[in-house]
Structure 1
Amino acid sequence: MEKIKQNKIWITILVIGIIVIGILLAMLHQQKQNSPEAQSSSYVSSAKASSASTSVQDKNNEKAYAKKAAKIKGHVLDFGIGNVYFTTWTKSDFVNWAKKYKATSSNQTHQNGVKESFGTTYSIENDNDTGDYPLDEMANQITSNGALSNYYETVKEFNKQNPGVNPDDIKK
């Protein structure tokens, strides 16, 4: 009878020990999941999934923009940094302007207030105070290349160079 009591005590101690070890292992596992290394790999996989999703969305947007661009008529002039405008000017209008501008004396073209809108609602202006003459640069580019590098004869042509830009965002 005494041996049975001792065996029950040992079995109870052994069961309690196994339970305590199980609890400690569960706590260790939980702590491991909350470690910076575990969170880092979780973050990396989340970032990859997000990037892949964004990439797919960008491709879908580009396809939709290309369809829109093919339907829209007009010429486009990109002044940079979100300043994209429809223009009423053709290549020949730019060439004629450049010839006229270059034929005018620099005393007249380099005055403050000399500006040109190129058939848009946006204007480029020379600044004699700072010595900044963007119209000179544009006239030189048109004379040497036959057109501005940021002029597009069609919205479709603009879209090929800028597939991520929504044609609806081109200003009138």
Structure 2
Amino acid sequence: MEKIKQNKIWITIVVIGIIVIGILLAMLHQQKQNSPEAQSSSYVSSAKASSASTSVQDKNNEKVYAKKAASMKGHVYSDYFTSWSKQDFKNWANEYLSKPESERHQDGVKESFGTSTSWENSDTNMTYPLDKIAKQIQTDGVATNYYDTVKEFNKANPGFNPDDIKK
């Protein structure tokens, strides 16, 4: 009888020990799942899914923008609609560069190029963007960032919404 009681105590102690070890292993496993190493793979897969979704959205936007651009009329300089043609830019560059430097390099010399904004020289700051633009037109025959059509602008800037071109 005494021996059976001792065996029951030992069996109880062993069972309680196994339960405690099981609980400790479960806690350790939970802690591993919450570790930065374990979460990094989850983060990477989430980032990949987000990137793929953004990429698909960008492609869809580009298609929509291309359709809009194809139906829009007008010339574009930088991200402004302009009333000037390529020839207007060439004529302006020739006229501008024919002026003496002292006349070109003054504060307040500016040009809008048929847009709603102006590019201005500043003798005070010694910045002459109009010189750069005029020389570039003479060299290349057309201004950088000038597009004869909105469709051409869209081909060069597929992610830019044509509705955002400034008037």
TM-score scaled to structure 1, two decimals?
Answer: 0.91
SS at match of 1:86: strand
Aligned to 1:67: 67
2:81 aligned to 77, 82, 86, which one?
86
Please tell me whether residue 143 in structure 1 is matched to residue 138 in structure 2: yes
Q: Work out the CA distance in 2 between the residues paired with 1:17 and 1:130.
A: 82
Q: Work out the CA distance in 1 between the residues paired with 2:44 and 2:55.
A: 16
Q: Per-residue deviation at 1:111? A: 1.3
Q: Match of 1:124, as an amino acid? A: W
Q: Work out the CA distance in 1 between the residues paired with 2:23 and 2:16.
A: 11
Gaps of 5+ in 2: none
SS at match of 2:13: helix
Let me know the Cα RMSD of the aligned residues.
1.3
Query: How many residues are aligned here?
Result: 167
1:131 aligned to 126, 129, 135, which one?
126
Q: Work out the CA distance in 2 between the residues paired with 1:99 and 1:73.
A: 27
SS at match of 2:4: helix
Aligned to 1:109: 104
Which runs of 4 or more aligned residues in structure 1 lie more than 6 Å from their structure 2 counterparts after TM superposition? Answer: none
CA offsets 1:31-76 (integer angstroms, 9 cap, x no match): 1112121122222222222222211111111111111111111111
Q: Per-residue deviation at 1:6? A: 3.1
Aligned to 2:93: 98
Q: Work out the CA distance in 1 between the residues paired with 2:123 and 2:36.
A: 58
Give the fraction of aligned pairs with identical amino acids, expressed as a percent.
Answer: 74
Q: Work out the CA distance in 2 between the residues paired with 1:14 and 1:110.
A: 95
Q: Match of 2:122, as an amino acid? A: D
Gaps of 5+ in 1: 79-83
Q: Match of 1:18, as an amino acid? A: I
SS at match of 1:30: helix
Aligned to 2:6: 6
TM-score scaled to structure 2, two decimals?
Answer: 0.93
Q: Work out the CA distance in 2 between the residues paired with 1:24 and 1:114.
A: 79
SS at match of 2:43: helix
